[in-house]
Amino acid sequence: MALMTYAQAAALALQRGMDADGAVVVLGEDVGRGGIFGQYRGLQERFGAQRVIDTPISEATILGAGVGMALAGLRPVVEMRVVDFALCAMDELVNQAAKNRFMFGGQGRVPMVVRMPVGIWDSSAAQHSQSLESWFAHMPGLVVVCPATPQDNYSMLRAALASGDPVVYMEHKTLWGATGEVDEAQAVPLGTARVVRRGDALTMVSWSRQVQACAEACEQLAAGGIECDLIDLRSIWPWDRAAVLESCARTGRLLVVHEAVQAAGFGAEIAATAAEATGCRVMRLGAPRIPVGYAPVLEAQSRVTAPDIVAAARSLSQSPR
């Protein structure tokens, strides 16, 4: 095992994938320079400009080229810089990549990884701070992944590269410098959740950077005698229903926490599924339906903090099962 950052783990996963399969190529803005977060550092020097391809500033062109490459037998990794910019390429992803396998009876496959960094980026305002995972979970044909740790960013990127379907790969913008141990031998199948801690007072489900806030809240709750199950969903679609429902059936209470806007967020899908299957009490905690502000005092209004989570969990834990 080695200690590395979230960005270094991703670069290593991609290096291993490119070493193993000559069909894996990278394309996007600034990838030759290592990417704006260092997630491609050293790859163009190792594999050359024919496999790590710098592109013009045109998201529709970049993603459209990736779809064509995938249909022609390559396994492209498409860099969108941030999810907000990927909105310029929705037709290529939603109407082409996601639907091709279905529309042509499986004759065409689009084994493509589209990297879309998500989440609030300090003082970056409304067009650089969105969490849009629920948009893509809603689209049949797409796999959606949100790794929260360096280990998962390594293992899940390896799994995404091996997938035969288009994968929307959503790394949080403020996690790039987070450090942790990475075991290259550890495989993480897509659709498998991670149990962060065990408890019987309630089930807490989250993903991406918000797992850190939930872990902090769980420590505070435990100090007051409230022990929670904390589940890092990791994959948004497919999501690990079995792990979540087993926990909800045992605790009788579910709190879903995400950084995305609460209205129509993916937490609603989890809450409804759990309530229908187990009859548990449910509560959601997400951002208000406002654009993320630039000024710190406005940005703070969009953040779901550990104290917010503690307050919600205490309220839920006092409700009857």
Q: How many domains does one find in the chain?
A: 2
Which of the four pLDDT bands, split at 50, 70 and 90, describes residue 319? confident
pLDDT confidence bin for 320, thresholds 50/70/90: confident
- Are 168 and 39 within one domain? yes
- 237 and 118, same domain (yes or no): no
- pLDDT value at 38 more than 80: yes
197 pLDDT more than 90: yes
Residue 80, amino acid: M
Q: Are residues 304 and 207 in the same domain?
A: yes
Cα–Cα distance for residue pair 152/173, rounded to 1 Å: 15
The reported pLDDT for the residue numbered 1 is 87
- State CA 320 to chain mean position distance: 33
Yes or no: say if 168 and 147 are a contact pair by the CB < 8 Å rule.
no
Percentage of the chain beyond pLDDT 70 is 100
Confidence check: pLDDT of 268 > 90 = yes
pLDDT value for 123 = 87
pLDDT at position 8 over 80: yes
Are 44 and 107 found together in one domain?
A: yes
What backbone phi and psi angles, to 5 degrees, belong to 40? -125, 15
| 172, part of any domain | yes
pLDDT at 65 over 90: yes
CA distances (Å), origin 153, targets 45, 66, 115 = 22, 21, 12
**Averaged pLDDT for residues 14-28:** 98
pLDDT value of position 64: 97
Give a yes or no: residue 169 inside a domain.
Answer: yes
Q: Are the C-beta atoms of residues 5 and 58 closer than 8 Å to each other?
A: no
Average pLDDT over residues 21-45: 96
Residues 218 and 147 in one domain: no
Of 106 and 229, the structure prediction assigns the larger pLDDT to: 229
Residues tagged active-site? 128
Query: Which band of pLDDT confidence, cut at 50, 70 and 90, is reported for residue 11?
Result: very high
Quick one: 222 and 162 in the same domain? no
The pLDDT mean for the chain works out to 97
The residue whose two tokens read 């970049």 is: 62
Residue 278 has pLDDT above 80, yes or no: yes
Express each pLDDT in 141-189 by its tens digit. Answer: 999 999 999 999 999 999 999 999 999 999 999 999 999 999 999 999 9
Closest by alpha carbon to 212, among 201, 198, 196? 196
Domain match, 152 and 233 both: no
Q: Is the pLDDT of residue 99 over 80?
A: yes
36 lies in the same domain as 166? yes
Helix (H, G, I), strand (E, B) or coil at 141: coil
Range with the lowest mean pLDDT among 45-54, 119-128, 246-255?
119-128
The answer on 276 and 145 residing in a single domain is no
Structural domain including 259 reads 194-317
Specify if 189 maps to a domain. Answer: no
Average pLDDT over residues 232-261: 98
User: Do the Cβ atoms of 44 and 72 come closer than 8 Å?
Assistant: no
**What is the CATH classification number for the domain harbouring 244?**
3.40.50.920
Task: Please say if the pLDDT value at position 321 is more than 90.
Answer: no
Judge contact between 33 and 177, C-beta under 8 A. Answer: no
